[in-house]
Amino acid sequence: MEYFLSALLLCLQPINLILIIGVVTLGIIFGAIPGLSATLGIALLLPITFGLSTETSFIILLAMWIGGVSGTFISAVLIGIPGSSSAIATCFDGFPMTQQGKAGKALAIGIVASFIGTLGSVIIATFLSPIIAEFALHLGPWEYFSLCLCAITLIASLSKGIIFKGIMAAGIGLLIGSIGMDPINGATRFTFGNPYFGAGISTVAQMLGMFAMCQIIRDAAKGQAKMPEIDAGEIKGWGISFKDIFTNIKTIIISFLSGLWIGFLPGMGSGISNMVAYGYAKSSSKDPDSFGKGNPAGVWASETANNASIGGALIPMMALGIPGDGITAMLISGLTIHGLQAGPLFMSEKPELTMLIFVCVIVSAIITFAIQMIFKRWFPYILKIPYHYLYSVILVICYIGGFGISNTMFNVYVMLGLCLLAIFMNVAGLPLSPFVLAFILSGKLERYFRQGISYSHGSYSDFFTRPISLILLLLAVFSVVWPLISNHLKKSKIAKAVSVGESEDINDD
């Protein structure tokens, strides 16, 4: 309780409160505009944190996260284009409600659902993370290696398209992450005689190049740097009543729990949780045919679930040092910049900073709710900001941030190189999520593996004889093998159906 009150007082200091309000507003704008996102916003803010204290750095990074994730539903409701993948399901019923003249109600549902999902999940994470961290302190390098491997294989197997592409992207991430000094004996690897590579590839340069610059180039190349005309109708009043909440309370609770659980699983996040919750809401509804035609339950399900995944993603990040999604991977990078490492030891050694992270998310969620409710009638104007102004500013920030990492042009070149790599991966259909997670976890994966072998005097047996490690390794293997088996079963089923149909045609003849 002492740490909670001190963290709350720190967040409510005038300068910090002004920062939260300002960055949350910026995050809402980034989330609302398709092509921009909370991920991009955090990537742009990371270089700024170099000259700030650890507390201030995390206040602005977390405020950007909450504002950005909560703001994605705005464009989904008003123009039918999601601000990010976390609001895809919101489009299905949010935009039809706008077309029916119910934009105010759809926006109000999105605002309240986002608030419920964020606040509830973070409160649960606040109490659950220390318990998981206490348990994690009893684990050895064998379990941590298996956990990191399981996280990488899980997100690779969930990637869109062929699973081999997800594994290939993860492999490239591990290769890029191994550049620099060996974590055990300090030998340099893949530096090609360049001393700048000795420190490895900067995470900030990687984020700026692969997310910020790549996004701008892709949108400009595809001609997507324009917004359609917005007709939001008349937006006024609060939009909903308590009756609307109680009517959809079952959908809210189920969506909240599914979002929390999916957010907890490494690599899944809000992009999957909103679709899963929407599918459940539709299948359990008494009127499933109304979904996709402006059913408010669809918006409740999607927005509650994608924001509940925030607290779910915080749990493995804080308790285990494993990023739950791409944004928490960036937050772990923010800790690394300030010489800290997320995980169970961080929670026990830095309880005041740990509590600050949870409290800042709660305060940001409340401020986001207030800002969105007060200014929702002006949301259509956010979507009219010209892209050529935004993109010019973002590019300048990218170059300044790349140069500021080491005050040399080296990281600018690295940023440009990784931007080209991201473009190549996009063209080749290789997903970025496995790459980012593997890149972030590469150092831990190698360190825990070699520590486990060293502690076992050169034996690999402990990775398979320790129960938790074995379960995680089996889960990693299953996550890779099951999609292949599933595809084979589907093809066999289709082939069987086709053969049965052909034989029936022959009999008819």
- pLDDT tens, position by position, 37-58: 777 788 778 777 777 788 888 8
Average pLDDT score over residue span 312-337: 76
pLDDT of residue 101: 74
Contact between 218 and 426 (Cβ < 8 Å): yes
- pLDDT tens, position by position, 226-263: 554 555 455 566 667 778 788 888 888 888 888 887 77
Q: How confident is the model at residue 454 (pLDDT cuts 50, 70, 90)?
A: confident
- pLDDT, greater one: 84 or 126: 126
- Is residue 233 a part of any domain in this protein? no
Q: Please indicate, yes or no, whether the overall pTM of this predicted structure exceeds 0.75.
A: no
Residue 427 burial (C-beta neighbours within 10 Å; 0-12, 13-18, 19+): exposed
- pLDDT, greater one: 397 or 475: 475
Q: How confident is the model at residue 383 (pLDDT cuts 50, 70, 90)?
A: low
- Is residue 224 a part of any domain in this protein? no
pLDDT of residue 507: 61
- pLDDT tens, position by position, 92-118: 788 788 777 777 788 888 888 888 888
- Is residue 234 a part of any domain in this protein? no
- Is residue 272 a part of any domain in this protein? yes
- Is residue 199 a part of any domain in this protein? yes
- pLDDT greater than 80 at residue 490: no
Average pLDDT score over residue span 306-334: 77
Which string of b and e fits 362-392 if b means at least 16 CB within 10 Å?
Answer: bbbbbbbbebbeeebeebbebbeeebeebbe
Average pLDDT score over residue span 174-187: 82
- Is residue 491 a part of any domain in this protein? yes
- Is residue 228 a part of any domain in this protein? no
Range of the domain at 418: 2-175+185-218+243-502
- Measured in degrees and rounded to the nearest 5, phi and psi for residue 339 equal 75, 25
Alpha-carbon radius of gyration of the chain: 23
The number of folded domains in the chain is 1
> Which residues lie below 8 Å from residue 201, measured CB to CB, with a gap of 6+?
176, 177, 179, 180, 414, 418, 439
Please choose, from the candidates 347, 353, 263, the residue with its C-alpha nearest in 3D space to the C-alpha of residue 311.
263
pLDDT > 70: percent of the chain: 85
Average pLDDT score over residue span 410-425: 89
- pLDDT greater than 80 at residue 466: yes
- Is residue 291 a part of any domain in this protein? yes
Report d(CA 418, CA 402) in Å as an integer.
12
